[in-house]
Structure 1
Amino acid sequence: MKEGMDPRVYWIWTQRAFGAGSPKPWQLFRRFPGGLCEFYAGGPSLWNRMELVSEREAGMLYSYGISQAQALLEYCYKCGQEVITPECEKYPEALRNIFDPPAVLYLKGKLPDVDRIPTVAIVGARKAAEASVRAAEAFGYQLASGGAVVVSGCALGIDAASLMGALSAAGTPVSVLPTSLDSNYVVRNAALRSSILERGGCLLTEQATEQNIHQGTFQVRNRIISGLSWGALIIQAARRSGTLITAHHAQEQNRDVFVYPGKPGDESYEGSRLLLEDGAKAVSCGEEILEEYQHRIQAARSSEPVDLTGLFDELEVPASSGLEELADSGTGRTLSENAEKVLGVLEKTPVHVSMLEEKTGLPASSVLAVLTELELEGIIRSYPGRRYSRA
């Protein structure tokens, strides 16, 4: 390690080279006794001969210097952002135990102790039915009232409703963003993000400077939402929806999956019903989820009993639950050039995502974006362990 160098700089350096969502910084850290500092010290001669590092990635390691990583860390401090990596004491153990731990997390506010406090992700449709929005707000309220941490994104619809419910119960929710902390995503939820910070919650992201949104950005982000949590609650997932991909992340990470069933026969809940058929647990209120974790609750916030009778009828529905940025599905769109490239190397036999990166030469974030696109179209299938095949 360079004298006086903050160890986090090496994590920033590798994350920028391999891309958000790549497991390689974590794998390299565990491979070398001296961690990423030893890997850096090996220089291009080492990077170029390692099978784990592609030619393109070796070039990125060389072009994005350690001094640039140091400058980014200093910039974050000036912006009031905290930076944590897997070597930091504050880094959640829950994330260390997933396949692809984020190399760097940028945050504002206070990150709760998700390893000890019951933590539940709530995810669902952006263009959600009124009943689903009301249910999300009720679940957020009930879980926070019971001492749990609510984790979600910050999109319109289910995300916003669940976070609002948690705040109304004096909870301290966590919102995981798909962009940098200084992005204005989503504009209409700016007040909600401010409220989360003002009331002791946390805004969290893996992105240092990313301002643009694409489908793969959400998939990369969603593994963090499920990874932070003890279980994930799915509210209104269609048969082909990004919400199901979050549920798959939760299953791969050995997290519990809960489902709010919704109206029988309603097509907008068809994906939810598929999860129930696959073993997810149907729930109608937050208390049913908390009962699952009663034996693990050690540090939940103490609170007076809350009478939740009629809560679903009393909650206000947010003024809008529409989507401005992205639709849940790419149905009907022509496949992108990268999608055609990935599809060209996929066969009926499942292969690991790292093999797709190697064969296509695409970075991890681009491959994940393509896999999201193809899975939503029903062209490919996903399997445990980050493996994929043609459908």
Structure 2
Amino acid sequence: MQSLLPSSALQQLLDARQTPEHPLNRALAADLAWLEQHPDVHPLTLGSNDYPALLADVACCPPLLYVRGKLAALELPQLAIVGSRNPTTGGAAIARDFARCLASGGFAITSGLALGIDGCAHRGALDAGGVTLAVMGTGIDCIYPARHRALAEEIVEAGGALVSEFAPGIRSQASNFPRRNRIISALSLGTMVVEAAVKSGSLITAKYALEQQREVFAVPGSINNPLARGCHSLIRSGAKLVESAEDILSELGGALAYKREQVMESRAPREHWLLSAMGYDPVTLDTLCQRTGQTAGALSAELMDLELEGAVEQRGSYYNRC
């Protein structure tokens, strides 16, 4: 890509101004100066060859994107994975597993770099040696949350990209994140929601996806899990219920020249007699004693083994199957 300095659209706009002290002029000048000091950040103007085509086709696409990483990653077939910032252990595992399987099959995984499901989706793609993109609600130089700085570096080093419409130096503001969600959905062929409350940013992303004529997928959960209600609401509204990466490929496979078996689950779930007795809803130790006829001591030992294997989690006096 040709450098946007000094012949960029930004520079031309700056030169065309008749009032150098105009606040917009000063802001543009500051951005141009910053970009000169950060050659690893690519500013893409709407209409340039490297501006992502899918994003350019939607209403209200940003006139300028800041991209750090591989520009080629923007044109890969992408699947957005979004969800709760405070997922259950099982929800986090689902996001990682789907991302890992789909990334291994050729999808780039796109999310928002947030805590919870977003971070799990990025991590799953990286674990598969795949590409992942993080669309940020801050300036490209302001990683939020701070604990994901190392993750952001891994994304870039692995051939992915950080993407933002916000100028360098823009810090975290609540209003920025719903706005950035339209970019997450627009870059992607479809959006998958894993664990989301009825009123959440993830459902805003799904709404944008529908408006942009993209596919929306939702992972169902227990009726007792409040984080499943947003997904259930999406399914009632027409989102596609998914239980495996294969379900997504059956819908989007036409966009990929990859075999279905490449995105099948890498391993079958571990079968255990106690998991069958637990079912899929939270259950107490006393209830398990009644169902199995086993003593509390014997069941506690089995449950501890299952917890260590990541098959079960304990929350207060209840046990959940992961």
Report the TM-score, using the length of structure 2 for normalisation: 0.75
Which residue in the other structure is 2:9 paired with?
Answer: 7
From 113, 122, 145, give the equivalent of 1:186: 145
Which residue in the other structure is 2:192 paired with?
Answer: 233
- How far the C-alpha of 1:8 sits from its partner, in A, is 3.8
Q: How does 1:207-356 map to 2 (within 5 A)?
A: 207-297=166-256, 305=262, 308-310=265-267
Whole-angstrom CA distance in 2 between matches of 1:235 and 1:176: 18
Which 5+ residue runs of structure 2 have no aligned equivalent? 1-5, 271-305, 311-322
The alpha-carbon distance between structure 1 residues 283 and 112, as it changes in their structure 2 partners (threshold 3 A), is: farther
**C-alpha RMSD of the superposition:** 2.9
Q: How many residues align?
A: 268
Contact preservation (8 Å) 1:95, 1:227: yes
Letter of the aligned partner of 1:147 in structure 2? G
**1:101 is the counterpart of 2:61:** yes
The alpha-carbon distance between structure 1 residues 260 and 9, as it changes in their structure 2 partners (threshold 3 A), is: farther
Which residue in the other structure is 2:133 paired with?
Answer: 174
- How far the C-alpha of 1:241 sits from its partner, in A, is 1.3
Letter of the aligned partner of 1:6 in structure 2? S
Which residue in the other structure is 2:296 paired with?
Answer: none
From 162, 183, 194, give the equivalent of 1:203: 162
Deviation string, structure 1 residues 113-156 (Cα, Å, up to 9, x no partner): 555x4210000000111110000000110110110010001111
**1:91 is the counterpart of 2:51:** yes
Whole-angstrom CA distance in 2 between matches of 1:95 and 1:198: 24
Which residue in the other structure is 2:280 paired with?
Answer: none
- How far the C-alpha of 1:7 sits from its partner, in A, is 1.8
- Tell me the percent identity: 34
Deviation string, structure 1 residues 260-308 (Cα, Å, up to 9, x no partner): 112234222111111101100011122221221222225x7x9994763
Whole-angstrom CA distance in 2 between matches of 1:185 and 1:9: 29
- How far the C-alpha of 1:224 sits from its partner, in A, is 0.5
Whole-angstrom CA distance in 2 between matches of 1:106 and 1:309: 36
The alpha-carbon distance between structure 1 residues 98 and 206, as it changes in their structure 2 partners (threshold 3 A), is: same
From 70, 73, 80, give the equivalent of 1:110: 70
Report the TM-score, using the length of structure 1 for normalisation: 0.62
**1:78 is the counterpart of 2:37:** yes
Whole-angstrom CA distance in 2 between matches of 1:199 and 1:217: 26
Whole-angstrom CA distance in 1 between matches of 2:260 and 2:207: 33
Contact preservation (8 Å) 2:81, 2:110: yes
Deviation string, structure 1 residues 227-248 (Cα, Å, up to 9, x no partner): 1000000011111112111111
The alpha-carbon distance between structure 1 residues 293 and 191, as it changes in their structure 2 partners (threshold 3 A), is: same
Which residue in the other structure is 1:377 paired with?
Answer: none
Which 5+ residue runs of structure 1 have no aligned equivalent? 14-36, 45-60, 318-391
Which residue in the other structure is 1:136 paired with?
Answer: 95
Whole-angstrom CA distance in 1 between matches of 2:45 and 2:12: 10
Partner of 1:274, secondary structure, is: helix
Q: Higher RCO, 1 or 2 (CA under 8 Å, sep at least 6)?
A: 1
Letter of the aligned partner of 2:265 in structure 1? L
Whole-angstrom CA distance in 2 between matches of 1:8 and 1:256: 35
Which residue in the other structure is 2:119 paired with?
Answer: 160
Contact preservation (8 Å) 1:135, 1:312: no
Letter of the aligned partner of 2:106 in structure 1? G
The alpha-carbon distance between structure 1 residues 133 and 217, as it changes in their structure 2 partners (threshold 3 A), is: same
Contact preservation (8 Å) 1:146, 1:287: no
The alpha-carbon distance between structure 1 residues 244 and 312, as it changes in their structure 2 partners (threshold 3 A), is: farther
